[in-house]
Amino acid sequence: MADDAHATTGSYVKAGSAFDRDMNYIPDRITRDGGAPADDRAGTGKPPVADAPTWPVEPGRYRLVAAKACPWATRALIVRDLLGLQDVISVGLPGPTHDARSWTFDLDPGGVDPVLGIERLQQAYFARYPDYPRGITVPAMVEVASGQVVTNDFPWITHDLFFEWREHHSPDAPDLWPAAVRDEMEDVMERVFTEVNNGVYRCGFAGSQEAYDAAYDRLWSTMDWLEHRLSDRRYLMGDAITEADVRLFTTLARFDAVYHGHFKCNRNQLTEMPHLWRYARDLYAHPAFGGNTDFEQIKQHYYVVQTDINPTQIVPKGPDTSVWLEPVT
């Protein structure tokens, strides 16, 4: 099933059906010494693949390919910056639109990634799997020397940046997975993923009125729960940023610009929910969050690529994104 991370232009809605995200990704993990992972709880309700291949942590060995247009990929960019891994893991940035084959490096001179030397992310997938049958997704970790994709399993990528790359974190890196609230955070992240991160897609890609109505009600039930949760705390788990905040933010950043209209999630705008809006602006003010949020790329991606929802490919001028810079009180 195609989605924003899958390289299929145009066809996203299956008539008469509810949207069902394909969660089958390349299961490989990059671990501290190439051995067993240090932790195996990702917060999506999706267990790790047993006996998945592992690759050793090694500065400079891997390149993170992550489009700022994609919410799943932006998670990885934010976590990389929060943990201070910029000099350890390089980044390749595809442009916001793609064709039926793959994300492309059209933002780079000559349309070629300067490190991997490829025009399409598809080339890294095919370098490892010549007949790779699934979508070409971001984020993807690519081994620079071989040019082969290592993994595209997005919840595990950010999880492992924290647990497996610890020796390379900056001294002031935040504890994104605090043990004191870990169990509760797992529950929060699973609900956020199921009902919000994925919930907006269930609305936008619904193939029937019944499927849309059910998806809409589920989404707003959890949005109301989050609004209430944030009424007495700064972040989802208290006074400090955690992985849960990274995962929620990338959906909130796209809400008014895309999901409210394009995906018909239109009961409220984010700006009309005072606690969620304060929270989102608070995170946006942090360089790791705001610096990896590009509203123009976000709009270009959804409105141009998803032609069965927006056949004219007209990209709206609004909303006014300067409101994200308003002081948080």
Neighbours of 49 (CB within 10 A): 15
Mean pLDDT score, 164-192:
97
Q: How far is CA 251 from CA 75, 173, 189, 254, 294, in A?
A: 10, 23, 13, 5, 13
What's the chain's average pLDDT? 94
Chain segment 252-297, per-residue pLDDT in tens = 999 999 999 999 999 999 999 999 999 999 999 999 999 999 999 9
Say whether 55 sits in a helix, a strand or coil.
strand
Mean pLDDT score, 313-329:
96
Chain segment 211-265, per-residue pLDDT in tens = 999 999 999 999 999 999 999 999 999 999 999 999 999 999 999 999 999 999 9
Q: Is 277 marked within a binding site?
A: no
Strand (E) or helix (H) holding 141: strand 140-143
Q: Is 203 a catalytic residue?
A: no
- Among the options 201, 212, 259, 284, which is catalytic? 201
Tokens of 133: 């049958």
Classify each residue of 134-144 as buried b or exposed e, where b means 16 or more C-beta atoms within 10 Å of its C-beta: ebbbbbbbbbe
**Residue 1: band (very low, low, confident or very high) from pLDDT cuts 50, 70, 90:** very low
CB 245 within 8 A of CB 236: yes
DSSP β-bridge partners for residue 63: 90, 142
What is the C-alpha to C-alpha distance for residues 10 and 7, in angstroms, rounded to an integer?
Answer: 10
Mean pLDDT score, 5-29:
76
Q: Is 70 a catalytic residue?
A: yes
- Among the options 70, 212, 259, 303, which is catalytic? 70
